[in-house]
Amino acid sequence: MRGWWVISMLALAGCGEHQGLNPNYRFGATPYGEYLAARETALTRGSDPAQIIPIALPAKAPTAEEIAGVSPVPVPPTMGVATRRLVARKPASQAAARGLPVTSTGPYPGSTPVLVRYAFAAGHAPGTAIHARPQGSAARAAAACARYAGTDAAQMAFLAAGGPRLDPLGLDPDGDGFVCGWDPAPFRTAQP
Our count of domains for the chain comes to 2
Q: Is residue 82 part of a domain?
A: no
Specify whether 100 is located in the same domain as 182. Answer: yes
pLDDT 10s digits, 130-149: 888 888 888 999 999 999 99
Residue 110 resides in a domain: yes
Spatial separation of the C-alpha atoms in residues 82 and 69, rounded to whole Å: 12
Residue 23 has pLDDT above 70, yes or no: no
SS3 33: helix
Asked if residue 154 belongs to a domain, the reply is: yes
As a dihedral over the C-alpha atoms of residue 71, residue 77, residue 79, residue 83, rounded to 10 degrees, the angle is 30
Give the integer Cα–Cα distance in Å for 170 and 177: 11
Worst-scoring range by mean pLDDT, 25-39, 72-86, 90-104? Answer: 72-86
User: Is 67 within the bounds of a domain?
Assistant: no
Contact, 101 vs 191, CB < 8 A?
A: yes
Q: Domain of residue 18: give its range.
A: 2-45
Nearest to 159 by CA among 121, 111, 127: 121
Let me know if residue 77 belongs to a domain: no
The answer to the question of residue 63 being in a domain is no
DSSP state of 164: T
Residue 192 pLDDT: 47
**Per-residue confidence at 96, pLDDT binned at 50, 70, 90?**
low
**What's the predicted TM-score (pTM) here?**
0.47
Mean pLDDT of 21-46: 75
Residues 119 and 178 in one domain: yes
* Model pLDDT, residue 86: 47
